[in-house]
Amino acid sequence: MFTLPQVVNFVGHGMGKNELFQVPVLRWWLRKIHVHPIIRDTGDKEGFARIVDLLKMGNNMFVSPEGTRKWEQGQPPRPKTGFIRLAQTCHCPLVPVAICGTRNILPPEAFFPRWSKIVVRVGKPVMLKPIEVKLENHEILQAQANEVMRRVYELLPPSFRPTTRILIECSANTSNLVYDYHACSC
């Protein structure tokens, strides 16, 4: 099996739930492929600071804004705002990426992967309207997260796109919270 850094000259970092790092062999492999533990739903300040340091050093970070692979009744969960807080803190662009077919490789309840085709689609980089990261701005940060996820979902083939509240909630009111990266004076 090959990982991305073995095939191309690119190293990306990712985040994984802390529970995965409790399994010794899995912990070894995750560290080898630059996945960093994060304690979910706790405001993991140490984990957040580690990721901020990596981003400020110019590293790339892969983030799963939904925080889980499980969808309820075919609908994705509301995205977490951690990736927005990271981008706001580091003033870095976000690149929407949609991946289709991973559920066929490793269904949520399976232990072993299967061979299957996946499709990866990469969108245009975006910058966020600068918003101070504080509790009072949570609704604005959530709107930015929803808008970025709307852009991710638009990359999916039509038959894979969720008809979710996120797409409905995103309207002209949220489009001014996210800008195409090339249009910024960054």
pLDDT tier at 121 (50, 70, 90 boundaries)?
Answer: very high
Question: Domain for residue 36, yes or no?
Answer: no
Q: Which residues contact 26 (CB under 8 A, 6 or more apart)?
A: 20
Q: How far apart are CA 160 and CA 146, in angstroms?
A: 18
Question: Domain for residue 98, yes or no?
Answer: yes
Question: Domain for residue 62, yes or no?
Answer: no
Mean pLDDT, rounded, for 118-140: 91
Q: Which residues contact 149 (CB under 8 A, 6 or more apart)?
A: 65, 66, 76, 79, 166
Domain range enclosing 150: 94-186
Question: Domain for residue 18, yes or no?
Answer: no
Question: Domain for residue 153, yes or no?
Answer: yes
The model's pTM: 0.80
Q: Which residue has the tokens 């892969």?
A: 62
Q: Give the number of residues written for the chain.
A: 186
Q: How far apart are CA 119 and CA 182, in angstroms?
A: 25
Burial of 19 (0-12, 13-18, 19+ CB in 10 A): exposed
Number of domains in the chain: 1
pLDDT tier at 134 (50, 70, 90 boundaries)?
Answer: very high
Question: Domain for residue 118, yes or no?
Answer: yes
Question: Domain for residue 84, yes or no?
Answer: no
Question: Domain for residue 147, yes or no?
Answer: yes
